[in-house]
Amino acid sequence: MFHIEWSTTYAKQAEIKDYLKNVAGKYELYSKAKFFHRVESATWDESNRDWKVVVQDLRRNEIKEIRYDIM
C-alpha cells in the first residue's frame, strides 16, 4: 500500500490526481478500466448472485450487458 505524505490536510485536485494515477499504474488498473463508457444501470441478480451492468460504449454508441461478481 502507498503511504502518502499529503502537502496539506485537504490536498488539492492535482495532488490527488497524481496519487490516483500512481496507484493505477502500480496495480496495472488501466488495462482493466473501461474509458468512454457510461453505466446505464447496475442491478443485483439474486438468482445468479452477480451484478448485471448495462453500459453504453460512447465511441461506438453501443449498449452492452456485462456480468460481474463484485462491483
pLDDT digits (tens, 9 = 90+) for 43-71: 999 999 999 999 999 999 999 999 999 98
pTM: 0.64
Q: What are the beta bridge partners of residue 12?
A: none
Q: What is the band of 3 on the pLDDT scale with cuts at 50, 70, 90?
A: confident
What average pLDDT does this structure show over 10-29? 94
Residue 5, pLDDT score: 85
How far is Cα 40 from Cα 55, in angstroms, rounded to an integer? 5
